């Protein structure tokens, strides 16, 4: 009896001296799945197209004919009546959101409501603008900004200087 595809892949891998960890790192297939492929335990694989893709990637990495590997996998499933391992859900999924019912509101009503909402928002924005302009007009215009330096009438000199001292002839040593 010929060896199964899992055994053939394992023998080809061992003949080339490739570790399962290396295949895992390069193909991003879990070592757990690679061991399942070699043991022909396809129920441990995710199923569907993943099984075929894993076998194809494994075969390609070790230099085994990819098409032959996938055919061997399909043959193994047929011989062992294990079609459930490769089963893909072919039943269509029905949405739980029911969109088949006709619209209960007229599109004209939707447009009218949208225009009404936009008109209300525009009126509110214009009212706010009018209120701010009116408020600004009532406030006195000669206010100084709060962050401006206040102008004090303090003299530019202190007790150590005289009013007659010329600025250029100042002796700064008296201040320290």
Tens digits of pLDDT across the chain (176 residues): 468 889 999 999 999 999 999 999 999 999 999 999 999 888 888 888 889 999 999 999 999 999 999 999 888 888 887 655 555 444 555 555 555 566 677 889 999 999 999 999 999 999 999 999 998 888 766 555 555 555 555 555 566 655 555 555 555 555 65
Q: Is residue 145 part of a domain?
A: no
Taking CA atoms, 133 is separated from 120, 122, 139, 157, in Å, by 20, 17, 10, 46
Residue 113: give the domain boundaries: 105-139
Number of domain units in the chain: 2
Q: Is residue 94 part of a domain?
A: no
Taking CA atoms, 47 is separated from 27, 50, 75, 123, in Å, by 17, 6, 16, 61
Q: Give CA–CA dist 123/115, Å, rounded.
A: 12
pLDDT of residue 107: 86
Question: Phi/psi at 19 (nearest 5 deg)?
Answer: -85, 150
Residue 29: name the closest of 3, 60, 5 by CA: 60
pLDDT of residue 78: 87
Q: What is the CATH number of the domain that holds 26?
A: 1.10.260.40
Residue 140 token pair: 């006195």
């Amino acid at each position: 009896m010929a060896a199964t595809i899992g055994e053939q892949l394992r023998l080809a891998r061992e003949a080339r001296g490739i570790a399962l960890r290396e295949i895992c790192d390069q193909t991003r297939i879990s070592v757990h799945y690679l061991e399942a492929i070699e043991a022909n335990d396809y129920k441990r694989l995710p199923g569907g197209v993943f099984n075929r893709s894993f076998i194809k990637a494994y075969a390609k990495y070790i230099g085994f004919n990819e098409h032959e590997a996938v055919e061997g996998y399909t043959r193994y499933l047929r011989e062992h009546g294990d079609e459930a391992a490769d089963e893909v859900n072919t039943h269509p999924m029905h949405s739980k959101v029911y969109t088949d019912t006709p619209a209960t509101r007229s599109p004209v009503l939707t447009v009218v409501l949208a225009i009404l909402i936009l008109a209300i928002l525009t009126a509110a924005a214009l009212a706010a603008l009018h209120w701010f302009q009116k408020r600004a007009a009532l406030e006195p215009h000669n206010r100084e900004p709060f962050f401006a330096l206040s102008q004090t009438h303090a003299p530019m000199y202190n007790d150590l200087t005289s009013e007659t001292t010329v600025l250029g002839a100042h002796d700064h040593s008296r201040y320290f």
